[in-house]
Chain A
Amino acid sequence: MIYFLKKFSLILLTFILVFTLLSGVVLAQEKVIKIGTLFPLTGSCALAGSRCKAAVETAVEVINNAHPECDVPLAAQEGILGGYKIVLVHADHQGKPDIAKTEAERLFNQEKVYAIVGCYNSACTNPASFVAERQGKIFMCGCSSSAALTERGLKYFFRMAPTDKTESIEFCDVMEWMNEVKGTNLHTIGIIYENTEFGKHAADEGKLAAAEAGFEVIADVPFSPGATNMNSEVQTLKAKNPDVVFGACLGGDYTLWVRTMKQMDWLPKMCLNYCTGYQDPVIAQQLGDDGNYFMGGTGYSPEFADLMPAVAAVENIYKTKIGPSVPFDSDSIQEAVATFILAQAIEKAGTLDYDKVSETLYANEWDSPLSMGGKVAFVPGGQNAKAMSMMTQLQGGEYKRVYPPELATHDIIFPMIPWNQR
């Protein structure tokens, strides 16, 4: 022990030396704007995270280089502010809030990024955006869906996607519309959700919206994500037999849930999904016929081409980054929107001053061909007031627009076709 203690200070000093050597060397480059991305690139949300990262890369590719084939702002010119190029610094928060905070601090302090785009998980966006706010720097959030994020009154925080709250209200609207127009008698709701920050939030908003619209929530089924089976969850739903199910199950849990319902030979009359496995085109494709007739709010899908004609060209670039068979999904496209809007605001403000850019962001209504509705405008708190999503239903493996009626291309198939008649 004594021998060792003797050397201890030496070891310690070596370590400090190593730290200082390793810690970031800031390169003084000209005409470069550094932007950080912060997504879950490992862990259980890695799939969504890697797609979001690729979407941001796509947007930067379009902004930095001349892409006349893309009909989006900033595509024709090279760079912004008269030749400034955006350079991305990627970071991984692994789905953990503490790491998200650390990485946000590192991106700002060590990497000297101008702004951060992130974080997918609402639980991670929260601490990371606080870091930005305290330093008076801008945080662009694409798709984190917790409504609470934009109710904090932050000045430098901007979110593109519709929230759980908007979606929940839309779900209830759909039910009311069905009752009025089609004379369906929908009354009871079951909610199945993963018991995490995301799922709990969605479920709480769902319950609020249901209560306001006068529907009755008769089954409240949280489950632990990454479950080995979902038998008891589905059995509980089956026993309560609600008319409509609101689902908030991500990725693997979503497929397990759908397949378990098939085994148990049960379906509600209608099934509405939050931003979850339902919107993942790859999962929809893999589930094949089993995935049909489920519904959900969708911000983008390849079938929306006639609504959003500008997306296709950008999507081609995206596919070179992530893989040929993966189109944009509702989540990742919002991260691309976030990047575009930030760049447009910098361009318009004509400066990198944070307050000016933030004011510009609030003051204008932005053209955003990648968003449904084509416009983005922020209200205090940073929520995109023009955010909208559309109800789709998977029919024959494709996302068909079914609600609101003025934009719908197909009728809702109601009730869902039972398993044994497919």
Chain B
Amino acid sequence: MMKGNKKKQDLYWYVLIVLLILIPFIPQVAANSFTQHVLILILLYASMSQAWNIIGGYCGQVSFGHSVFFGIGAYGAGMAVVRFGLPPWPGIILGALLATAVAILISYPCFKLKGHYFAIATFAIVEIFNRLFMVWYWVNGALGLDYPLVEVGWRNFMWYTTKIPYYYGALVLFIIIFGIVRFIEKNRFGYYLRAVREDQETAEATGINSTMVKLSAMALSAFLAAFCGAFFVQYNLRVDPTMVMSLQVSMVFVLVTILGGAGTLFGPLLGAMILIPLQEYTRVLWGGLGRGTDLILFGFLIILIMVRQPKGIMGLVDEYFNYKKMRKVISAESDIKY
């Protein structure tokens, strides 16, 4: 049974990937660059949030600090292109490594803190980094880095007229990050993570080095978040501290994951699938009215989802299938009765 399930799950995962690969061939999508934009954002935000999910969802350490790692990754790519005139790749790698190092350095002392104290500490770290980057002359401070016109192609990971390659770039990111989390979920490490989330003392009593587990989860999470940051910059061709390294960006990681369902594999994807189109299309439809109508509605829908099902969309989905199962059971019972 278990084995059958696993095979089945594998199958669905591959079907999903194939579907995602084929999407750009749908004529409506191919013709409409805004739809492509929304799809790219969904994949990017799903990947970002999945990276956060490792530490925030599976390990239960709510970090509002991920925009720092996101930002370092972004600045890695940005600096390579703007300041050094290189392709972004070495900057991306260096940025990701740097983000990992920073993550380890700042999380090690912070992991002493529990619950909200930890959350607020990461909060404070974002604000500190944001303000330091704002005045750091070498990275152009508040002015930000604007990309020059360079040759398009995979070498520079930059296109001006088409978005399809960005879509596949985001898809690669998505597959890698989701693949890693899928692997972890079944792996010993995944069980450690959940053990630490449920009860740190008990986990330690069973011989798990909780600090080590949390640190490695954070490091992995930061490493992956940095890649997403680099993608974000390559996509927008501009980086400044408010864009990538602010509480608003940090909230995105948390929002998407919780909305979808924290600590579940498909939660981040579901969250992104709901949140991003909601955000983008409400803006398109009502943003031009200029009275914040889109954001009122957006806020209202978030509240609505949370009030209806605090466990997020995954909770709704579970509820739906449980209901169907129940119906099956009930109808089976009534069959017997009559």
Interface residues, chain A, CB within 8 Å of chain B? 1-9, 11-12, 15-16, 18-20, 22-24, 37, 39, 41-42, 46, 49-50, 53, 89-92, 96-99, 101-103, 105-106, 109-110, 123, 126-127, 130, 134-135, 195-197, 199-201, 222, 224
Contact = CB atoms under 8 A, between A and B. Distances in A.
B288 A92 contact: yes
Interface residues of B, number: 56
Given A18-B277, A49-B290, A97 B243 contact: yes
A106 B26 contact: no
A130 B142 CA distance: 20
A50 B34 contact: no
B141 A200 contact: yes
Contacts of A2: 5, 8-9, 12
B290 A90 contact: yes
B89 interface: no
Nearest to B142: A200
Contacts of A22: 277, 281
Given A18-B277, A41-B287, A96 B38 contact: no
Interface string B147-189: 0000000000000110000000000000000000000000000
B284 A20 contact: no
B37 A12 contact: no
Contacts of A24: 32, 34, 284
Interface of B: 5, 8-9, 12-13, 15-16, 19, 23, 26, 28-29, 32-35, 37-39, 131, 134-135, 141-144, 146, 160-161, 232, 236-238, 240, 242-243, 265-266, 273, 277, 280-281, 283-284, 287-292, 294-295, 314, 317-318, 321
Contacts of A196: 142, 242
Given A110-B34, A200-B142, A101 B237 contact: yes
Contacts of B23: 16
Contacts of A42: 287, 290, 292, 294-295
B16 A106 contact: no
A15 B156 CA distance: 32
A19 B35 contact: yes
17 contacts: A2-B8, A3-B321, A5-B9, A8-B16, A19-B38, A23-B35, A42-B287, A42-B294, A46-B292, A53-B290, A96-B243, A98-B238, A126-B238, A134-B160, A197-B143, A200-B143, A222-B142
B291 to A, nearest CB: 8
Nearest to A105: B33
Nearest to B39: A19
A53 B16 CA distance: 44
Contacts of B277: 15, 18-19, 22
Given A2-B5, A96-B243, 4 more contacts: A2-B12, A8-B12, A16-B23, A197-B142
A12 B134 CA distance: 40
A15 B34 contact: no
Contact of A195 (B8, B9, B134, B284): B134
B207 to A, nearest CB: 28
Contact of A89 (B26, B131, B266, B288): B288
Contacts of A7: 317
Nearest to A24: B34
A136 to B, nearest CB: 10
Contact of B19 (A9, A105, A224): A9
Contacts of A20: 26, 28-29, 32, 35
B1 to A, nearest CB: 11
Closest 3 CB pairs of A and B: A90-B288, A41-B290, A92-B287
